[in-house]
Structure 1
Amino acid sequence: MSREILLPRINTPGRRPTTTELALGSLCVNTADGRLFTKISNAGEEAIVEIGSGIVAGSERVAPANTSTAITNSTNPFVIVSIPDSFNAVKLHCSASKVSGGAVYASEVLVGHDGTTAALTEYGVVELGEPLGEWSATLDTAAHYIRITFTPATSAPLEVTVSYTPLQ
């Protein structure tokens, strides 16, 4: 016998659940635009992360499959993406914006590693309004991942998005 499983749902285009609306690890579907979200906790800091590509037919919203998005309202650093260290390098398109508007930060980032240390370089920076934060990278040799971290410069709610391409 089959059983239907219904996830929590919202039906407002562009709306994300808040950290108070979801339990840690639970999923929520926005049925208006087909986006899937989960609540995560990193070093005690909770965030809502979008899962999947977010490609919607007939809309302006088209994102690559390797995309990670989080909402934060703290100045605590958080890992936005972890990439297996079997890749020697990764290219990222990064953005952060105030949820309320008024400030935008976008850049491209290259990260590489030599098996013991990760190095990051940022270029093509566009910053409008106040500074929103900075990127860093570490190599977790025990877990075999390159961790890309964003450290917000403000406690105002931010939407942080990274699209990435692992390189051999």
Structure 2
Amino acid sequence: FGIGDDCFYDHTFSLRCNQTSPSPTPIYGTNLEVLSITLVEGQIRFPSSVARQCYSGSGEPLPYRHPGSWSWTNLPFFTFSRHNTLVATGCDAIAWFRVKRSLNRSYSLGCSTQCASLQEADKNIESCSGGSGCCQIEIPEGVHFINITARSDNNY
């Protein structure tokens, strides 16, 4: 990876520097911030969006800046690693992802949460250690495309 002409292996390893942020930030592609690069492990870290769906006390969906689903499709030269996990929190939350490993192989995986009360869910929010109100599932290695969706069956 590198910034500037002749400072990278080929165009797929080209970075640019965002000088408008408080501290210079490396950018990959159009506008994807690079959090870190680890050459020994062959990893590059990017931030991800949060898919969320929130509801009012009466069960009406609340408008949020982040949608209930998002896709990551514009990184054809990269795959997800074993360090990626989908986490769902709250009572009555359902989260799943559809992945593609190749043009001919796609499938969906997911998890759901249940709890007796919101207070019970709050106890497990930090660790997601198998209690109620939280579930997690690993995103398989080698995935090139991912679409994540979050929802609730009972709108709370």
> TM bucket by the smaller chain?
0.3 to 0.5
Larger radius of gyration: 2
Greater strand content? 1
- Higher helix content, 1 or 2: 2
Instruction: Compute the TM-score of the two structures, normalised by the length of structure 2.
Output: 0.41
TM-score, normalization by structure 1: 0.39
